[in-house]
Amino acid sequence: MLAGDADNGSEMSRVQNGCTILVVDDDLTCLEEYRDTISNLGYNVVCAANAPQALKTIAESPDIGVVITDLEMPAMDGISLLSEIANRFSANQPIVTLLLTAHSSLQVATKAMHYQATDLLSKPVSMEELAAALRRASAHYLTMSNKFQITAITKRLDPQAGRSRPPKPDTAPTGVELQAFIQLLLKFQHNKSKFFDPAVLSGPSWEILLDITEASLRGEAVPASAASATTLVPLSTALRHVNNLVDAGLVRRWTDPTDKRRTLLELEPHALAAMQRYLESAWKMQRQAG
């Protein structure tokens, strides 16, 4: 069951991503409580009392984008459900999965990750934990949905895109090709200034921002020490650049509630949106150059 009452004013003001959340639990009391809380947070939500019912609901409802399932269920448990979702739907439908359990362990976490679960939540789940997990899941769903849309558009524009092609010979680039590559790199650099203040993203700051972006696209936070390690500068210098990104309003920083010694980072929503636009623009440039 949820621990604590939902204070949802700020959550209700958010514009949700449009997908429906499916909650799966054989405990009907818990199921109703999750449904009410998630609904109060501003999400569309449906419920299933067991795994077979959940699979049937997903098959009939293409708008389901997030599945939250309990681990301990009769007949088919949560891990088995994750496996079925991955095998049946992952190729054709963007679905983010989260696992709830009162008995978390390394073995459970490993199995959940193997079947692409993005979060493992320990019962009882507080409203804050659930809200944060749903924000991460929503961000991850949007990323997956965008990738599906890009793939679909690419296939329509280029029917050969999904077919195997003979590998190109591994030859050294010519001088002309290297010049073209330099021009492409310069375009990437110039294009960056359309989305961000160049003064903020000097030196290691860009490397740190890319690392945090990669984690944010997975719906995860990244430890400040790990983001700093991506640079080739001393830790004190890297952390100063992290401070600059926080001061610029691009990155959110907080203390890990499970380990007070660790500081976590993630992109602010507007920064994530800007990075996605930049990366999509760079991706298009690369395809046009190729």
Please tell me the predicted confidence (pLDDT) of residue 213.
Answer: 85
Check whether residue 6 and residue 135 sit in a common domain: yes
Check whether residue 9 and residue 72 sit in a common domain: yes
Check whether residue 185 and residue 132 sit in a common domain: no
Domain count, the chain: 2
Check whether residue 181 and residue 118 sit in a common domain: no
Check whether residue 90 and residue 21 sit in a common domain: yes
Check whether residue 71 and residue 200 sit in a common domain: no
C-alpha to C-alpha distance for 34 and 30, rounded to whole angstroms: 6
Count of Cβ atoms closer than 10 Å to residue 175 Cβ: 7
Look at residue 151 and tell me if it is in a domain.
no
Please tell me the predicted confidence (pLDDT) of residue 157.
Answer: 62
Residue 59 has pLDDT above 90, yes or no: yes
CA angle 258, 24, 131 (to 5 degrees): 40
Residue 18 has pLDDT above 90, yes or no: no
Look at residue 164 and tell me if it is in a domain.
no
Check whether residue 77 and residue 206 sit in a common domain: no
Look at residue 246 and tell me if it is in a domain.
yes
What single letter denotes the amino acid at residue 236?
A: S
The reply to whether omega before 124 is within 30° of 0 (cis) is: yes
Please tell me the predicted confidence (pLDDT) of residue 118.
Answer: 83
136-163 tens-digit pLDDT: 888 888 888 877 777 766 666 655 555 5
Share of the chain above pLDDT 70, in %: 78
For the stretch 89-93, contacts whose Cβ atoms lie closer than 8 Å and that sit 24 or more positions apart, written own/partner, are: 89/58, 89/59, 90/116, 93/58, 93/62, 93/64, 93/148
Q: Where are the beta strands (DSSP E) in 31-145?
A: 44-48, 64-70, 96-101, 117-122, 125-126
Look at residue 156 and tell me if it is in a domain.
no
* Residue with the larger pLDDT of the pair 81 and 282: 81
- Please check whether residue 87 is in contact with residue 114, taking contact to mean a CB–CB distance below 8 angstroms: no
164-203 tens-digit pLDDT: 555 556 667 677 766 776 676 666 666 666 777 766 677 7
Look at residue 280 and tell me if it is in a domain.
yes
The CATH code of the domain that includes 239 is 1.10.10.10
Q: Which of 130, 145, 160 is at the close of a domain? A: 145
Q: Packing angle between helix 204-217 and helix 127-157, nearest 10 degrees?
A: 90
Which range has the top average pLDDT, 57-66, 115-124, 130-139?
Answer: 57-66
Check whether residue 135 and residue 203 sit in a common domain: no
Q: Is residue 64 helix, strand or coil?
A: strand
- Please check whether residue 263 is in contact with residue 256, taking contact to mean a CB–CB distance below 8 angstroms: yes
C-alpha to C-alpha distance for 216 and 203, rounded to whole angstroms: 21
Residue 10 has pLDDT above 60, yes or no: no
Tokens of 14: 């958010």
Q: Which of 232-241, 246-255, 265-274 has the lowest mean pLDDT?
A: 232-241
Please tell me the predicted confidence (pLDDT) of residue 93.
Answer: 86
269 lies in which domain range? 175-289
Mean pLDDT estimate for the chain: 80
What is the residue whose two structure tokens read 């921002």? 209
Check whether residue 28 and residue 109 sit in a common domain: yes
Look at residue 160 and tell me if it is in a domain.
no
Look at residue 153 and tell me if it is in a domain.
no
Sign of CA dihedral 54, 55, 61, 67: positive
- For residue 289, name the pLDDT band (cuts at 50, 70, 90): low
Check whether residue 12 and residue 137 sit in a common domain: yes
What single letter denotes the amino acid at residue 284?
A: K
Check whether residue 6 and residue 140 sit in a common domain: yes
Note the pTM of the prediction, 2 decimals.
0.52
Residue 73 has pLDDT above 90, yes or no: yes
